Amino acid sequence: MTGILIMIVGILIGALLLNIPIAFALALIGFVIVFIEGSVPLSFFIQSTFGASDSFSLLAIPFFILAGEIMSTGGIAKRLVDFIQSMVKSLTGGLGLVTILTSLIFAAISGSGAATVASVGGIMIPYMISKGYSKPYAAALAASSGSLGPIIPPSIIFILYGVMASVSIGDMFIAGIIPGLLMAMSLLLVNYFVSKKEKFEVQNNEVESKKSFWSALNEAKYGLLAPVIILGGIYGGIVTPTEAAVIAVVYSFLVSVIIYKELTISQLGEVFKKASLTSGTIMIFVSAASFFGQVLSMEQIPQQIATAISNITTNEIIILLLINVFLLLVGMFIETVAAVILFVPLLLPIVLPLGVDPVHFGIVVCMNLSLGLITPPLGINLFIASKVANIRFESTFKYVGIIFIAILSVLLIVTFVPEISTFLPELLSD
């Protein structure tokens, strides 16, 4: 086994040095193993890549991406900001609070962290800066609030995890709600203390709203209804998660085009193209990496790693802690979708025999990886936010560090109190 592992890591590093996209680097490794072992024909790639693509559940991914794109282009995100702002009068760190809460709501519409930062951060970062917040803090806060994107349902990585671990995507979605809310609360706490200490204080009219509460609510009501329609549709027994994603597309399209009139036909074309590009990169990854995964599985690699680890310890707490450390490291370097596809098949055989609930484990995995969205060197949320704030992303590290510790504490609580994740799904099944 060690021989194959060394070869895998070797080819992977080589491929990344040569700047080969990681999906194809993985396919390449799969081919090399198949070629050396000679146990299956090369055409296994076609079957495997087709099998992974021909999936109704994964069809939800492009639809949620498309819905998110329409909502941020079509004026829904903007009105959510106005609405939250109209409720927050004079408070310490008031605009930070607006950023967090709006991200929380937008997370309930969009499926990814990047979409959440781009939509909410794009509006809030310049605004916070103009009201005297330090640039690094504004960027760090918007980036971290974006990490709520994949934890509050809907979530692209929950869909992927559900497919890979054979657990209900509906259960994954609902299990993310409480951990997501806890994350938001930890952000609110950090925001309060940092704003107090750094005196991002209320100058009387810091969050002076342009609109009254009622008119802002009236404007934002369609955006606020979106999560109700998506989650209500699924849990009210109307649609499957994939169909809910389609409904979200149609709904956001109607709101943006007919009600807000902020989405032109040419913009719609751009939105479709952008969503195609994002879904395409994710899905080709899924389909190429599944070949890699199946080849590893045929060579019994995940099982052997699981055995090796359980030979060291079978203590559930220690293993979960080790997995957390491992995933945090993974999250530093590897994109979330890639990380789920690569490591979930390796980790499941380790934890399932210990009696860990697969839904709970899924939440732990995804929280770890969503922390990776704000950790250097590869932290996509941090990139986007720093770009908006027009600063080097290293300058955010001071605040990111504080926020990281806060979310990490939530992650540890969620790891060792499975009920936080399993409570809602179980409540629902009764």
Partner 1 sequence: ACNDSTGGSESGDDDKVVIRMANQVEESNFLNQGYVKFKEYIEENSDGQVSVEIHNGGTVASSDEQIVELLNNNTIDLSTSSAYGTASTTGVKGFNLFDMPFLFQDREEFYEFIDGPYGDKLAEEVGESQNVEVLGYTDLGFYSIMNGNTAIETPEDLNGLRIRSSAATLHVETLSKLGANPTPMDYSEVFTGLQQGTIDGVSTTTPLIYGDRFYEVNKNITLTNHILLPHVLMVNKDFYNSLSDDIKQVFDEAVDVYIEESRKLAVEAEQEAVDGLIEAGVDVVELTPEQLDLFKEATETVREENVGEVGEENYEEALEFLE
Partner 2 sequence: MNKRTPIEGYVCVLLFAIMTITMFIEVIARYIFNASQPWTGELSRYLFVWFIFISASYAAAEKAHIKVETIHELLPEKVKGIANTVGNCIWLGLTILVTYLGIDYAMSMFGSTSIALKIPLGIIYFGIPIGYGLMSIRIIIQIIKSFQSKEKNAT
Residue 110 near residue 61 (C-beta atoms within 8 A)? no
CA distance 302 to 311: 14
Which listed residue (239, 305, 322, 378) binds Na ion by CB under 5 A?
Answer: 378
CB of 42 to partner 1, least distance (A): 9
Q: Is 152 in the site for Na ion (CB under 5 A)?
A: yes
Q: Is 19 in the site for partner 2 (CB under 8 A)?
A: yes
CB of 284 to partner 2, least distance (A): 4
Q: Which does 152 bind (CB under 5 to 8 A by kind): partner 1, Na ion, partner 2, none?
A: Na ion
Which tokens sit at 416? 């060792």
Which tokens sit at 45? 């790639």
CB of 141 to partner 1, least distance (A): 35
Q: Residue 190: CB partners within 8 Å, gap ≥ 6?
A: 402, 403, 406
Q: Is 355 in the site for partner 1 (CB under 8 A)?
A: no
Interface positions, 261-300, toward partner 1 (CB under 8 A) = 294, 297-298, 300
Q: Residue 365: CB partners within 8 Å, gap ≥ 6?
A: 161, 327, 340, 343, 344, 347
Query: What would you report as the CA-atom Rg of the chain, rounded to the nearest whole angstrom?
Result: 22
| C-alpha 133, offset from chain centre | 26
Binding string to partner 1 for residues 17 to 56, with x set by CB under 8 A, is what? --------------------xxxxx-xx--xx--xx-x-x
Q: Is 130 in the site for partner 2 (CB under 8 A)?
A: no
CA distance 426 to 281: 35
The residue among 201 and 243 lying less far from partner 2, judged by its C-beta, is: 243
Q: Is 209 in the site for partner 1 (CB under 8 A)?
A: no
Q: Is 408 in the site for Na ion (CB under 5 A)?
A: no
CB of 184 to Na ion, least distance (A): 12
Environment class of 336 (CB within 10 Å of its CB; exposed 0-12, middle 13-18, buried 19+): buried
CA distance 275 to 258: 21
Q: Which does 237 bind (CB under 5 to 8 A by kind): partner 2, partner 1, Na ion, none?
A: partner 1
Q: Is 240 in the site for partner 1 (CB under 8 A)?
A: yes
Residue 309 near residue 256 (C-beta atoms within 8 A)? no
DSSP single-letter state for residue 151: T
CA distance 138 to 128: 6
Residue 71 near residue 123 (C-beta atoms within 8 A)? no
Q: Which stretch binds partner 2 (CB under 8 A): 60-68, 207-215, 353-361, 398-406?
A: 60-68
Q: Is 213 in the site for partner 2 (CB under 8 A)?
A: no
The residues that touch Na ion, with contacts defined as CB under 5 A, are 107, 149, 152, 155, 332, 372, 375, 378-379
The residues that touch partner 1, with contacts defined as CB under 8 A, are 1-4, 37-41, 43-44, 47-48, 51-52, 54, 56-57, 163, 166, 168-171, 234-242, 294, 297-298, 300, 428-429
